[in-house]
Amino acid sequence: MNLFSLLQHLSEADTSASAPRRALLRQLGQAGARSLAAGLPLALGIAAPAQARTNDTVLDAITLLLKLEDLQVAFYSQALAAPTISSASFQADLTLLQTQQQNHASFLRQTLRDAGAAVPTLPTFDFSGQRGNAANPVLFPNVFTDVNSFLQLAQQLEDASAAIYKGQAPFLAGNRLLLDGVLRMHSVEARHAAHLRTLRRTISNARVKSWPSRADAAVSAAIQVPTQPATNPASTTSIYTAEANEVQIMSGSRLVPYATLLTGDKTVQSNALAEAFDEALTTSQATALLNIFG
């Protein structure tokens, strides 16, 4: 039996995205175009009150993802310019991460340009959480002067990045080529997130798995996003609150009965169900997160 090597396949020309760039964007410029996946809130395992639904366009989604990628580029760039972080053993990883985030940002920015859409001004990102104002509290101390603090924030940003991509994917449903590109960028973000968690284990001796788990030790400086569904009065919560979800609902509003399915030889560990699925962050949560830093 001749076993083809996976790398041989990977090196072959990828024909799935060979269409001209403009073909990717045909819906981007449509004024008022709506692309809402009605099933999304249920699939996330959260209730769907009216305020959790948004009417984001493809343009909104790409613009938000661009800001997310610009934030990550800035994060790694500032890290590589900081003596303490850039001299750490994982410097090569930071360079790789920065390059890939830059490539993602470049693609998203070019997507907007090609569609004739407004390309937002690049913000100045402040990863202390002070938003450039010394009067504001420092939410994330010593991010670029202490390796452990850096890695904590890096892990959260990469985990959040994967979750934000998931939250935006349904708004691209009408454009398969663009969706393909965005989802394949998402897949890379998930790899980044897993690796940052490996670094936290090996460098910081943190008790975390490579996937968000209820067994993870809590971070000392947590990114807080609006609670979903929204509460009255409004409240914030960790980006990991959604990851503890154990409810999965299939098409047709069919709740997966894990308690009866995962028995006998299908019994799993108590944290496995929440670990097995990476959850999404909503547009509201994503916007709030991005606004913390820029």
Partner 1 sequence: MNSPSLLDKPTDGKSWPRRTFLQAAGATAASAALLLAGCSDDPDPVPVDTTLLTLGANDIGLLNYAYLLEQLAAAFYQKVLDSPPADLQPGDLAFLNDLRDHEVIHRETLRFALDTQAIISVTFDFSTLNLSTRAGVLAAAKRLEDTGVAAYNGILRLVSDATHQSTLLKISSVEARHSAFIRDVLTPAAGTFATDVVVNASPLLSVAASLTPAQVITETAPFYLPLRVYTDSLPTA
Q: Which of residues 125-184 bind partner 1 (CB under 8 A)?
A: 162, 166, 169-170, 173, 176-177, 179-181, 183-184
Task: Output 84 or 102, the one with its CB closest to partner 1.
Answer: 102
Query: Which of 104, 160, 223, 226 is close enough to bind partner 1 by CB under 8 A?
Result: 104
Query: Closest separation between CB of residue 129 and partner 1, Å?
Result: 27
Instruction: Report d(CA 193, CA 186) in Å as an integer.
Output: 11
103 contacts partner 1 (rule: CB under 8 A)? yes
Task: Output 2 or 232, the one with its CB closest to partner 1.
Answer: 2
200 contacts partner 1 (rule: CB under 8 A)? no
Instruction: Report d(CA 40, CA 54) in Å as an integer.
Output: 11
Query: 231 to 270, contacts with partner 1 by CB under 8 A?
Result: 248-251, 254, 256-258, 261-262, 266, 268-269
Query: Closest separation between CB of residue 173 and partner 1, Å?
Result: 7
Query: Which of 122, 238, 247, 277 is close enough to bind partner 1 by CB under 8 A?
Result: 277
The three-point CA angle 59-49-39 to 5° equals: 60
The neighbour count for residue 271, using CB atoms within 10 Å, is: 16
Span from 59-67, 115-123, 129-137, 271-279 in contact with partner 1 (CB under 8 A):
271-279
H/E/C letters for each residue in 117-183? CCCCCCCCCCCCCCCCCCCCCCCCCCCCCCHHHHHHHHHHHHHHHHHHHHHHHHHHCCCHHHHHHHH
Task: Output 118 or 183, the one with its CB closest to partner 1.
Answer: 183
Query: Closest separation between CB of residue 199 and partner 1, Å?
Result: 9
**CA neighbor of 249 nearest in space, from 35, 41, 38, 36:** 41
Over the window 9 to 28, marking each residue x when it contacts partner 1 by CB under 8 A and - when it does not, the resulting string is: xx---x-xxx--x--x----
Instruction: Report d(CA 62, CA 115) in Å as an integer.
Output: 11
Residue 144 and residue 85 in contact, taking contact as beta carbons nearer than 8 Å: yes
Instruction: Report d(CA 64, CA 286) in Å as an integer.
Output: 8
Residue 281 and residue 289 in contact, taking contact as beta carbons nearer than 8 Å: yes
Query: Closest separation between CB of residue 189 and partner 1, Å?
Result: 8
Residue 17 and residue 39 in contact, taking contact as beta carbons nearer than 8 Å: no
Query: Which of 26, 53, 209, 214 is close enough to bind partner 1 by CB under 8 A?
Result: 209
Query: Which of 198, 204, 237, 241 is close enough to bind partner 1 by CB under 8 A?
Result: 198
Query: 71 to 90, contacts with partner 1 by CB under 8 A?
Result: 90
Task: Output 40 or 61, the one with its CB closest to partner 1.
Answer: 40
Query: 38 to 67, contacts with partner 1 by CB under 8 A?
Result: 38-40, 42-44
Residue 294 and residue 60 in contact, taking contact as beta carbons nearer than 8 Å: no
